[in-house]
Structure 1
Amino acid sequence: MTLALQIILVIASLLMSIFVLLHKGKGGGLSSLFGGGVQSNLSGSTVVEKNLDRYTLVMVIIWLACIVGLNLIQAYGV
């Protein structure tokens, strides 16, 4: 059980990092370093941004659940 949670945690962490970097930048921050400053048709779509927000939120919930689960297993030895 612990190994499965650890694997899910690593995958969720990687996906969450990718989804955060894919968000459209509001200014000249890190996203403009990766070409986020370039205007394209897909990046301006509100549907794409909404879906990306949802996917990021799901990854955050999975990540937090894995952290809590691993801490409970460590604390109580379930």
Structure 2
Amino acid sequence: MNPLLILMLILLVISGIGLIIFILLHSGKGTGISDMIASSVYSTQTGTSIVEKNLDRITIIFAIIFIVSLLVLMVIYPQGSISR
């Protein structure tokens, strides 16, 4: 296997798992894991917004890594060329 293929597949899997985890951490309408964490760490509403902003940033970073690695795999290895 090509080292570039291995690297891109590892990036794709790690970013996909990270994306799933950080999307599940987001709260929807005031309930969620991030609110429970934020309420135990911060006692004000500003703490919750900081946690949500950080979750948004991390989720966007994982989404960009996922899309870029997927596009690189699509360009370098078109359909059917990995098995050669």
Fold similarity call, TM over 0.5: yes
CA distance in 1, matches of 2:37, 2:58: 20
Aligned to 1:25: 28
Match of 1:68 in 2: 71
1:14 alignment partner in structure 2 = 17
Instruction: Give 3-state SS (helix, strand or coil) of 1:42's partner.
Output: helix
**TM-score (structure 2 length as normaliser):** 0.70
Q: Does 1:59 align with 2:62?
A: yes
Q: Which residue of 2 is the match for residue 50 of structure 1?
A: 53
**Higher RCO (CA 8 Å, separation ≥ 6 residues):** 1
Q: Which has the larger radius of gyration?
A: 2
Structure 2 distance, partners of 1:20, 1:41, is 15
Return the structure number with greater helix share. Answer: 2
Alpha-carbon distance change, 73 to 20 in structure 1, aligned in 2, over 3 angstroms: same
Amino acid corresponding to residue 8 of structure 1 in structure 2: L
Write out per-residue CA displacement over residues 1-53 of structure 1, whole angstroms, 9 at most, x where no aligned residue. 011100110000000000000001227xxxx6xxx28x646155100000000
Q: Report how many aligned residue pairs link the two structures.
A: 68
- For structure 1, which runs of at least 5 residues remain unmatched after alignment? none
Task: For structure 2, list consecutive stretches of 5 or more residues without a partner in the other structure.
Answer: 40-44
Q: TM-score, normalised by structure 1?
A: 0.75
Question: What is the RMSD of the two structures over their aligned residues, measured on CA atoms?
Answer: 2.3
